[in-house]
Structure 1
Amino acid sequence: MSNTCHKRRICLTRGSVSACGKVDSVMKGLVFGLYRPLNMKLVLIFVASTLLPLMLTTYIGARFYIERTSEDTGILIDNTLISLSQSLSSYLNELDQLTLIPYYNDDFIYALKVKASESYESLSRYQVLSITNMLDSQLRFVRNTRKDIMSTLIVADNKPLFYSTNNPLNDVADNYEFAETDWYRKAIEAAGNAVFVNPHKQDYFTRTKGETVFSVARTIRDIPSRQPISVIIADANTVVLQKMFQDIDFHVPSHIVLLDEERHFVYANHDVSPALFRTMPDNRSVVSDGGQSYMVIRRTVAPYNWELVVLLSYSALEKKTLWIYVNSALLYIVCLVVAFLFYQGLSRKVMGPVKDIIKTMGKIEQGDFSARYRSRTTDEFDVIGRSLNSMIEELKQKIEVEYVLKLKQRNSEYKALQSQIQPHFLYNMLGGFVALNQIGERELLEKSIIDLTLLLRYILNHPDMTTLEEELTLIEKYGSLQQLRFGERLQVHVSCEDGIRLHKVPKLLLQPLAENAIIHGIEPLSRPCRLTISADTVVEAGVPFVRIVIEDDGIGFDPEQLQEYGQIGLTNTRERLQLCFPDSRFELESAPGAGTRIAIIIPEANFHGHTHSG
């Protein structure tokens, strides 16, 4: 449309919500009230409904599996130890019963008493042979049926009374101090009870002194008098213990240790520091040995008060636990990836229409009312999109109707204001020509009429919007016409920065102000006066402005009595300025005898980004 200041956002009515403001509100509502919070809500829902439950479930599952595995392992170990302790108890009981064989036959006891007595040396050869056969017949059964029994020895003090070994070439070591050995003293102190001897060397025999045996000893006493006769010791091969423990597997590296009632080592399948058992560790506690940690599991071998101890590698147990957590973490990651893919699909399905709606609203904000939302779904967003399209169509129609009406109204106002300027300008100029004619300045009158013709051509034929440079040129021509009339009483100075010369302003914006300064400020005085019109740029609070100043050193006036100082020209200029530059300022300073200064201040941004038509 013609005769417009410049294209800008048009408000429908003052005091009501503007069309552009409505679009902005909807846009902000969608962007800040829906899009970002909805995206965050989807993320929070995904975290709350998927990540946290999945993490919690995975952790609880791992913990449950670990506890279940630990419980099953504990039950397995306990059952194994129960079986082992029962086997050990049975075996120890068998060894215990083995040393009771002498009590099964009174003749056997009598033979031992005779052989242990000092009169034994005076017996005939036949009697000695009879006693020997008696003893051998009783113990031969043990030697032949129990392969684990390596030898049986009966001694009284340091005197061997009888022995039987699985090695026919074996013999008792000469001058062996039996009474000084620990097992002999313990057997005497036990007063007829069995004493189990820790693994030791069979150094009291000549052929097997390097063999390690596990033994049981008992004092043989005379039944009527209960006086000790001798000590019997049965030596068993430690291979029995090895075979008993060798096939046991707890699925982690482990040590099996058998301790007697005094907590001395009876057997260990691996080297273990005795320091671990100086103070018996609690069951299921953790002990360290040479940089290695072990979990202790104990079982008492009844009724002998022995301890069967299993040392499970704690690092291996931790590795098993770590393996479970690693597998749980991998499972969690796989489930997380799958859940994330589902979330991405759902997010795109939800956020895709939202982004399309926001994109459509962005085009509307830029003034493209042909933009429409194209539905890609058949859900609630399709309903929202169709409602949005309907709203845009209604908004477009309303803006077009209101815009045309408002534009016509503004053009009418502008034309009316301009029509006020032209007659007023002509009236003042013709008054000047009459004065020139009266004083007889016909040449000046002729020249003035020619200049007026050029000015009228500019006023009548030039577009409604002109450049600041052209407007200031008009002021210079107008000043030169007035100088023909006032002569040396009027000096006109016009200046403009180069960077703002092409800025567009309404035609005849400054001329009424210059005319007021000459007619009302300078003409009443008889002294020379100066009229200055300048245009430059200033910066206020970091914002650039274009400043146009019309200043004279004329008579001045009281601003409260504005009606006496060109009220029509000032009011006209103010209204035209507000029509084209709503953000501009019109400042007037004056005082009687001090001249008048008028400043028009327009934001620099108002001159950019708009088109001007004429």
Structure 2
Amino acid sequence: MKGFGLKGYRALNMKLVVIFMVSILLPLLLASYVIARVYIDKSNEETGILINNTLTSLSRSLSGYLNELDQLTLIPYYNDDFIYALKVSASESYDTMSKYQLIGITNMLESQLRFIRFTRKDIMSTLIVSDNKPLFYSTNNPMNDIVKDYEFANTDWYQNALQANGNAVFVNPHKQDYFTKTKDVTVFSVARSIREIPSKRPISVIIADANTHVLQNMFKDIDFHVPSLIALLDQDRNIVYANHDIPPGLVKLNPDSRSVIRDGNQAYLAVKQTIEPYNWQIIVLLSYTQLERKTLWVYLTSLLLYIVCLTVAFMFYRMLSGKVMGPVNDIIRTMRKVEDGDLTVRYHSQTQDEFDIIGRSLNSMIAELKQKIETEYVLVLNQRNSEYKALQAQIQPHFLFNTLSGFIALNQIGEKELLEKSIIDLTVLLRYILNHPEMTTLEEELRIIGKYCSLQQLRFGPRLLVSISCDSCAKPFKVPKLLLQPLVENAIIHGMEPLNEACQLTIAVEKIIHEGHHFICIRIEDNGVGFDPQHQDKPGSIGITNTVERLNLCFPGSLFGLESAVGSGTRITIHIPEVEPA
């Protein structure tokens, strides 16, 4: 049973899957990504605000602290007696003064500078020098003393202080190598040249050394929610303080703010803040790996949410799809059974919906189809079988008559052995005609054609040359028996016999593909006398007509081609669709 077209249909289930993907999966995936992206952007924005506010607050605190250190070095200017004591200490007459005078000058200096050290825990020492001569010093280590013959005037901080014209100079982190007990201690310092008020002539240089106690208190409570490194850089971009060990190469790169820098396998997001007016900098190195992990965690959480929503949506989809696809599959199974020829099958509806209406219509169609087949198709089939047998009955006497005529010719010329062999071949042919089923394979048909040509070669001798070939894949194809024999007989009797010279008969079978369809191509060709195809009384017309009618009955889609011209031979081409015969 054909005609329902079920083999190439597009499954409704697949359409539902596509609809599910377009309406649920893709929007849900897009929504999950957008939510994750918005959350990440919002988190990054909040982190940026936190960092900016923290660095702004920290920079203000550090600016105030640096300003305090700057003010410490101005203390000598608050007391004229202090300036006078420094002038005397730096003069050549200092060594000739009385002990009473020396004690007075020393007490004056100590009253000011010791107050600084005792009230500020971060100030480790204060030192006043003139050229290479220490005028006064005060340290938090009572065992400390000035290194003998220390070249103060050759140090960078001393020269920078003199060149600053009375302004404070912050000194890069350095060793207290001018003290005996703390010469290996690293400090950062502020230095200033002390000058006479009227003449601005430099008298001496004061330097205050500070530790990182205050800086440590400022930095210890800073938290950016990811592992981070915080460093304070002076105006020369040397590290003054850092909350952890920082490779100097990272800060020497002088990265742009909000840029990513790398140190081996570690990556950092650098954020900078300048401390005005000192041109110091705070640089924060946030672990870029941890930031990426936070981003990845947001995406993973979003993916988990997407999977949960997808699972719930898929469960609802399966439930609804089952309600739809159950009746659809039942209808398809019913139609496939009808397609296979079972007209007793019926669709049994289990729902009260549109599918019930479709099922009843299908049952009605099957019943009508069964009735039409029983009343019309059987009659047509019987008529076609009768026509087929009548055509075949016309072929058999014609074939026998021509074969027996050949035997008579052999007997007349006295070829007894050849006659005996011909009789044996004829016996094979008759058994094939009488006992073989109505349908045979091309391989068997060509074998019988070979027997027939062998009989004809006994008659024509070397004048008849025969070539038979067949593709192995075409040999099992079923055709009506004696389909090709009338055509071969026409080629020999009407095409070759009139000529008194050798003629070639070619019978070839092959499988071809034409416009995407598979065909069995049968070619019967001779180089005999030929004829005019337009002539009504062409030779062998009865055999050709019978063959064409048998082809149309068995293979409705077959093609029969005839090419011939007087003196140029004849070619017959048959194209049979590669389907089971009707």
Confirm or deny that 1:355 pairs with 2:289: no
What SS is found at the alignment partner of 1:296?
strand
Confirm or deny that 1:284 pairs with 2:217: no
What residue number does 2:76 align with? 102
The Cα shift of 1:561 comes to 8.2
Task: Write out per-residue CA displacement over residues 17-41 of structure 1, whole angstroms, 9 at most, x where no aligned residue.
Answer: xxx5xx51xx11x553x533x3443
Label 1:544 to 1:99 Cα distance change in 2 as closer, same or farther (>3 A). same
The Cα shift of 1:108 comes to 1.5
CA distance in 2 between counterparts of 1:373 and 1:360 reads 6
Confirm or deny that 1:212 pairs with 2:147: no
Task: Write out per-residue CA displacement over residues 40-72 of structure 1, whole angstroms, 9 at most, x where no aligned residue.
Answer: 433332232223223322222232222222222
The Cα shift of 1:107 comes to 1.6
Task: Write out per-residue CA displacement over residues 191-233 of structure 1, whole angstroms, 9 at most, x where no aligned residue.
Answer: 1111111222222222222222221111111212222221111
Unpaired stretches in structure 1, ≥5 consecutive residues: 1-19, 419-464, 484-490, 507-536, 588-600
CA distance in 2 between counterparts of 1:174 and 1:538 reads 121
CA distance in 2 between counterparts of 1:584 and 1:266 reads 97
Specify which of 544, 551, 569 is matched with residue 478 of structure 2: 544
CA distance in 1 between counterparts of 2:348 and 2:189 reads 97
What residue number does 2:283 align with? 309
Say whether the 8 Å CA contact 2:188–2:210 is kept in structure 1.
Answer: yes
Say whether the 8 Å CA contact 1:258–1:308 is kept in structure 2.
Answer: yes
Label 1:374 to 1:119 Cα distance change in 2 as closer, same or farther (>3 A). same
Q: Counterpart of 2:10 in structure 1: which amino acid?
A: Y
Tell which deviates more after alignment, 99-108 or 373-382.
373-382
Say whether the 8 Å CA contact 1:301–1:308 is kept in structure 2.
Answer: yes
The Cα shift of 1:577 comes to 7.7
Label 1:351 to 1:502 Cα distance change in 2 as closer, same or farther (>3 A). farther
CA distance in 2 between counterparts of 1:184 and 1:77 reads 37
Report the number of matched residues. Answer: 484
What SS is found at the alignment partner of 1:70?
helix
Say whether the 8 Å CA contact 1:199–1:238 is kept in structure 2.
Answer: no
Say whether the 8 Å CA contact 1:197–1:217 is kept in structure 2.
Answer: yes
What SS is found at the alignment partner of 2:69?
helix
Q: Counterpart of 1:228 in structure 2: which amino acid?
A: P
Tell which deviates more after alignment, 257-266 or 243-252.
243-252
Tell which deviates more after alignment, 260-269 or 83-92.
260-269
Task: Write out per-residue CA displacement over residues 167-194 of structure 1, whole angstroms, 9 at most, x where no aligned residue.
Answer: 2222222222111111111111111111
Label 1:370 to 1:609 Cα distance change in 2 as closer, same or farther (>3 A). farther
CA distance in 2 between counterparts of 1:376 and 1:123 reads 126
What residue number does 1:371 align with? 345
Label 1:497 to 1:378 Cα distance change in 2 as closer, same or farther (>3 A). farther
Unpaired stretches in structure 2, ≥5 consecutive residues: 409-421, 440-467, 498-534, 561-573
Specify which of 227, 230, 234 is matched with residue 256 of structure 1: 230
What residue number does 2:452 align with? none
Label 1:44 to 1:156 Cα distance change in 2 as closer, same or farther (>3 A). same
The Cα shift of 1:136 comes to 1.4
Q: How is 1:435-454 mapped onto 2 (pairs within 5 angstroms)?
A: none
What residue number does 1:66 align with? 40
The Cα shift of 1:394 comes to 2.7
Task: Write out per-residue CA displacement over residues 253-291 of structure 1, whole angstroms, 9 at most, x where no aligned residue.
Answer: 322222212222222334434444445321111223344
CA distance in 2 between counterparts of 1:255 and 1:579 reads 93
What residue number does 1:91 align with? 65
What residue number does 1:396 align with? 370
Specify which of 39, 49, 63 is matched with residue 75 of structure 1: 49
Label 1:76 to 1:499 Cα distance change in 2 as closer, same or farther (>3 A). farther
Label 1:131 to 1:503 Cα distance change in 2 as closer, same or farther (>3 A). same
Label 1:301 to 1:324 Cα distance change in 2 as closer, same or farther (>3 A). same
Say whether the 8 Å CA contact 1:35–1:354 is kept in structure 2.
Answer: no
Q: Counterpart of 2:49 in structure 1: which amino acid?
A: I
The Cα shift of 1:77 comes to 1.5
Q: Which has the higher contact order (CA 8 A, sep 6+)?
A: 1
Say whether the 8 Å CA contact 1:538–1:544 is kept in structure 2.
Answer: no
What SS is found at the alignment partner of 1:35?
coil
Confirm or deny that 1:195 pairs with 2:169: yes
The Cα shift of 1:301 comes to 0.7
CA distance in 2 between counterparts of 1:88 and 1:584 reads 98
Q: How is 1:120-131 mapped onto 2 (pairs within 5 angstroms)?
A: 120-131=94-105
The Cα shift of 1:584 comes to 12
What SS is found at the alignment partner of 1:294?
strand
Say whether the 8 Å CA contact 2:555–2:581 is kept in structure 1.
Answer: no
Specify which of 200, 203, 214 is matched with residue 229 of structure 1: 203
CA distance in 1 between counterparts of 2:186 and 2:536 reads 131
Q: Counterpart of 1:547 in structure 2: which amino acid?
A: L
What residue number does 1:160 align with? 134
Confirm or deny that 1:48 pairs with 2:40: no
Label 1:190 to 1:119 Cα distance change in 2 as closer, same or farther (>3 A). same
What SS is found at the alignment partner of 2:258?
coil
The Cα shift of 1:407 comes to 7.7
CA distance in 2 between counterparts of 1:200 and 1:150 reads 13
Q: How is 1:464-613 mapped onto 2 (pairs within 5 angstroms)?
A: 493-496=426-429, 503=436, 542=474, 543-545=477-479, 546-547=481-482
Label 1:334 to 1:117 Cα distance change in 2 as closer, same or farther (>3 A). same
Say whether the 8 Å CA contact 1:538–1:547 is kept in structure 2.
Answer: no
The Cα shift of 1:409 comes to 7.9
CA distance in 1 between counterparts of 2:296 and 2:331 reads 50
What SS is found at the alignment partner of 2:428?
strand
Say whether the 8 Å CA contact 1:102–1:108 is kept in structure 2.
Answer: yes
What SS is found at the alignment partner of 2:482?
strand
The Cα shift of 1:80 comes to 1.7
Q: Counterpart of 2:116 in structure 1: which amino acid?
A: V
What residue number does 1:486 align with? none
CA distance in 2 between counterparts of 1:388 and 1:264 reads 91
What residue number does 2:123 align with? 149
Task: Write out per-residue CA displacement over residues 60-105 of structure 1, whole angstroms, 9 at most, x where no aligned residue.
Answer: 2232222222222222221221122112111111111111111222
Say whether the 8 Å CA contact 2:384–2:553 is kept in structure 1.
Answer: no
Say whether the 8 Å CA contact 1:577–1:584 is kept in structure 2.
Answer: no
What residue number does 1:427 align with? none
Rg: which structure is higher? Answer: 1
Label 1:72 to 1:97 Cα distance change in 2 as closer, same or farther (>3 A). same
CA distance in 1 between counterparts of 2:39 and 2:245 reads 33
Specify which of 330, 354, 359 is matched with residue 380 of structure 1: 354
Label 1:353 to 1:31 Cα distance change in 2 as closer, same or farther (>3 A). farther
What SS is found at the alignment partner of 1:154?
strand
The Cα shift of 1:319 comes to 2.9
Tell which deviates more after alignment, 349-358 or 85-94.
349-358
What SS is found at the alignment partner of 1:249?
coil
What SS is found at the alignment partner of 2:343?
coil
What residue number does 2:10 align with? 35
CA distance in 2 between counterparts of 1:501 and 1:62 reads 85
What SS is found at the alignment partner of 1:547?
coil
Q: Counterpart of 2:16 in structure 1: which amino acid?
A: L
Q: How is 1:290-301 mapped onto 2 (pairs within 5 angstroms)?
A: 290-301=264-275
CA distance in 1 between counterparts of 2:432 and 2:140 reads 125
Say whether the 8 Å CA contact 1:286–1:296 is kept in structure 2.
Answer: yes
What SS is found at the alignment partner of 1:62?
helix
Label 1:91 to 1:575 Cα distance change in 2 as closer, same or farther (>3 A). closer
Label 1:372 to 1:130 Cα distance change in 2 as closer, same or farther (>3 A). same
CA distance in 2 between counterparts of 1:136 and 1:398 reads 130
What residue number does 2:443 align with? none
CA distance in 1 between counterparts of 2:224 and 2:7 reads 64
Q: Counterpart of 1:35 in structure 2: which amino acid?
A: R
